[in-house]
Amino acid sequence: MSFDVTLARIAELQSVLAPPQARPAAAANANGAAFASALQGTMTAGPAASTSWNAGGTGAGQALLNAVRGEVGVTEQPPGSNDAPRIAKYRQATAGSGVGPWCAYFTSWAAREAGVPLGDAGQGFGRVDDVWAWAERSGKAIPAAGAQPQPGDLIVWDEYIGVVESVGADGRINTIEGNSSDSVARRGYGADGGGAIGYVRLG
């Protein structure tokens, strides 16, 4: 995907996600300081939460974050069912997936919404192992050892996956994850990513 197409997609997503009222002029600050400040105020803090964060990342990563931030709070209905009307939408971003653990469905949906779908044919994946195998084949996988994740990277554990939302100055990694205690939720980890095996950078 070209840089111009990515920027157009980001602008489209921002127009859909923007509140109807006029935004303060500070929100348009070219260096993003106002946006960073607003985001910092909405993050949930863990016991060792960082007070600063990395606002970098790729254009594709930022588009992916725009997609997932609005999903925080989506829950299974009923709890423990791996299902809900919204979760069914995530499943539709994968080829042939049924009701079941949905963290990979969530990241497949988010990547598709961001214009950088997972898979050689954009088919998405229902299994974390398949996401990682594809990322390795396509040169998008970054092994955890010595890695410096960026906002919008996918963070991959053994059989679980999420999205890096921010990285603190102390290395703390904050995420948004699907199927985290039956919901889309924010989580925080130390610099080792809680034992992550690696990251997937989509753009």
| Cα–Cα dist 130/147, whole Å | 21
CATH number reported for the structural domain that contains residue 139 in this entry: 3.90.1720
pLDDT single digits (tens) 181-195? 999 999 999 999 999
Q: Where are the alpha helices (DSSP H) in 43-84?
A: 59-69
Tokens encoding 28: 């348009």
C-alpha 149/C-alpha 201 separation (Å) is: 9
pLDDT at position 58: 81
Q: Tens digits of per-residue pLDDT, 24-70? A: 333 333 333 333 333 333 333 333 333 334 455 789 999 999 999 99
The answer to whether the beta carbons of residues 68 and 176 sit under 8 Å apart is yes
Interatomic CA distance for residues 40 and 34, integer angstroms: 10
Omega within 30 of 0 (cis) for the link into 78: yes
Cβ neighbours of 188 (radius 10 Å): 20
**Count of domains in the chain?**
1
Q: Which domain holds residue 70?
A: 3-200
Cβ(120)–Cβ(138) below 8 Å: yes
Q: Which residues of 139-162 are buried (b: 16+ CB within 10 A; e: fewer)?
A: ebbbebeebebbbbbbbbbeebbb
Helix (H) or strand (E) holding 199: strand 198-200
Mean pLDDT, the chain, integer = 81
| pLDDT per position as a tens digit, 118-161 | 999 999 999 999 999 999 999 999 999 989 999 999 999 999 99
Residue 32: per-residue pLDDT: 37
Q: What local confidence, expressed as pLDDT, does residue 152 receive? A: 97
